[in-house]
A = this chain, B = another copy of it.
Amino acid sequence: MDTIQSNKYNIYFENSLSELANFIEQGRYSRFFVLTDENTAVYCLPRLREKLGNPDNFDVIEINAGEESKDIDFCIGVWKMLIDFGADRQSLLINLGGGVISDLGGFAASTFKRGIDFVHVPTTLLSQVDASVGGKTGIDIDSIKNIIGTFTQPKAVFIDYEFLRTLPARQILSGTAEMLKHGLICDADYWNLLKESDLNNPTAELVYKSVAIKNRVVLEDPHEKNIRKSLNFGHTIGHAVETYSLINDEDSLSHGEAIAIGMICEAYLSYKKTGLSQAELTEITETLSNLYPRYELKTEYNDTLLEYMLKDKKNQNGKINCTLLSAIGQFNIDNICTNEELLEGLNYYASL
């Protein structure tokens, strides 16, 4: 699996932690900080330390696990830790964790002293195939997802498949949703390959293929003016459902579980609006429904869900904008959807 070239940085797969050791040795950094959460501190930090030869010049910043930490208050906490530890402009931040760590750490680093270098060591499937590639950083405010952030590229990404061994099954499936999305939006062969694979345990090759697809898309359109919007398939409705669940459910949906729901609803909108065939709609619905647990979408949630969709970054002029499919493997961007259409989409899922 060759190193992938992204926007002025490399994504390493083979012996990637040794590559990180090289990167550190070659960089002229004054100080190193590792951002972890309570889980990656236990499951991933020892391996990282060992592979780096147990360095003693690393300060660790640990935050709570979970989306609640991807918030301005935790961000301020990270900034203050960097201040207290005496981080300067030549410091490097190593984001060791899932998408929460890479989004928050990327944002904190890109704004600390007007920007210090950071690299990602993604430890969830989701962050390996999605969050660590593309240069989006972000935090939430009042549970509005990624409302604050920057476009800032990491200096490198180090993907180590071994980290996935301790990842709970549910978190694996969360990442699988984005892999399926990659197939649906631009690679029907990859979608078919995924369907034939054990998606509770995707191989390193499948991970690699997804990173390659995501990278191809973001390289063509780094600032999301056009084709990068393809990656939003499932995310207009999915993000609203994710936010709702985050606020209201004790055991809230994972990102991928919410996106799977969003993809089913938006596949229905694709069938209604952009030419997805009935057979393809059924194929998508069945594949996703077999893989992900049912979530009860009550009609009394509708107003709140629409309100969240209205606050979505992707909107213009107060109109809700969706990426849909015209076929499996063929995306279709900038579809304005009315409230009625969106409710129909939600209802399609609810009545399955």
What residues make up the interface of A, taking CB atoms closer than 8 Å to B? Answer: 30, 72, 76, 79-80, 83, 86, 88-90, 107, 110-115, 136-138, 141-142, 144, 146-151, 310-311, 313-318
Name A88's contact: one of B72, B113, B136, B317 (CB within 8 Å): B317
A216 to chain B, nearest CB (A): 21
A71 to chain B, nearest CB (A): 11
A167 to chain B, nearest CB (A): 28
Question: Are B114 and A151 in contact, with the CB atoms below 8 A?
Answer: yes
A334 to chain B, nearest CB (A): 13
Question: Are B316 and A113 in contact, with the CB atoms below 8 A?
Answer: no
Residues on B with beta carbons closer than 8 Å to the beta carbon of A146: 114
Question: Are B147 and A83 in contact, with the CB atoms below 8 A?
Answer: yes
Residues on B with beta carbons closer than 8 Å to the beta carbon of A79: 141, 147-148
Instruction: Tell me the complex Cα distance, A144–B76, Å.
Output: 13
Instruction: Tell me the complex Cα distance, A214–B323, Å.
Output: 45
Question: Are B317 and A114 in contact, with the CB atoms below 8 A?
Answer: no
A282 to chain B, nearest CB (A): 35
Known contacts A76-B72, A88-B317, A141-B80; A149 and B30 CB within 8 A of each other = no
A275 to chain B, nearest CB (A): 28
A125 to chain B, nearest CB (A): 24
Taking A90-B317, A110-B150 as given, write out 13 further A-B residue pairs in contact, using a Cβ cutoff of 8 Å, ordered by the A residue number: A79-B147, A83-B141, A83-B144, A86-B311, A88-B317, A89-B313, A89-B316, A111-B111, A111-B148, A112-B147, A113-B149, A114-B137, A150-B150
